[in-house]
């Protein structure tokens, strides 16, 4: 049977704040020191019967107390109330200060209806004009700009 990795390897003795990146590490020390939140090393030594019992307990929602994860710790009613108040304040802030997300806009149906011209009769304003209103000063400005287009290419020497 394969032996479990020992906790006395190089990565546990090295201070990670004093390491410098030299190249891409993929070897034994690439992951850094193991943390306690990952679980105990008992998985290396458990028998198939113990593993089946553990998996069955996990399916039923029973957590092992030896794993040390934060989700299995009991919380007090004061902590739950404090978390609920924080969540409420955060939601109120987001509703007040932030704009609506694209997902929410799409879910509410605020997007424009797509207008398929082949599915309806011809409409001059929608198909051609689009409500474009040009007054006299805008018309003169457009004519002045359009008159200058010919001069851009008239003085070119090709040979």
Give the domain ranges of the chain.
40-65
Residue 121 has pLDDT above 70, yes or no: yes
Q: Is there a contact between 64 and 46 (Cβ–Cβ < 8 Å)? A: no
Q: What is the pLDDT averaged over residues 37-57?
A: 78
All residues at 6 or more sequence positions from 115 whose CB lies less than 8 Å from its CB, including other chains: 126
User: When comparing pLDDT for 59 and 18, which is higher?
Assistant: 59
Cα angle vertex 124, ends 118, 125, to 5°? 105
Mean pLDDT of the chain: 76
> Secondary structure of the chain: what % helix, strand, coil (to 5)?
55, 0, 45
Res. 37: pLDDT tops 50: no
Q: Is the pLDDT of residue 109 over 90?
A: no
Residue in 30, 53, 33 with CA at minimum distance from that of residue 43: 53
Predicted pLDDT of residue 2: 65
pLDDT at 52: 92
CA distance between the termini of the chain:
85
**67: pLDDT strictly greater than 80:** no
pLDDT at 36 over 60: no
pLDDT for the residue numbered 92: 93
pTM exceeds 0.85 for this model: no
Q: What is the pLDDT of residue 117?
A: 79
């Amino acid at each position: 049977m394969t032996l479990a990795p020992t906790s006395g390897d190089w990565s546990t003795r090295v201070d990670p704040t004093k390491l410098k990146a030299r190249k891409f590490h993929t070897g034994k020390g690439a992951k850094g020191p193991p943390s306690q939140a990952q679980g105990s090393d008992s998985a290396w030594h458990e028998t198939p019967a113990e593993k089946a019992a553990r998996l069955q307990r996990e399916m039923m929602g029973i957590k092992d107390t030896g794993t040390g994860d934060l989700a299995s710790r009991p919380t007090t009613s004061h902590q739950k109330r404090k978390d609920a108040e924080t969540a409420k304040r955060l939601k109120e802030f987001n509703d007040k200060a932030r704009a609506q997300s694209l997902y929410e806009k799409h879910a509410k149906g605020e997007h424009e209806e797509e207008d398929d011209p082949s599915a309806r009769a011809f409409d001059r304003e929608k198909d051609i004009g689009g409500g474009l209103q040009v007054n006299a000063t805008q018309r003169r400005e457009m004519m002045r700009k359009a008159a200058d287009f010919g001069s851009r290419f008239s003085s070119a020497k090709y040979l």
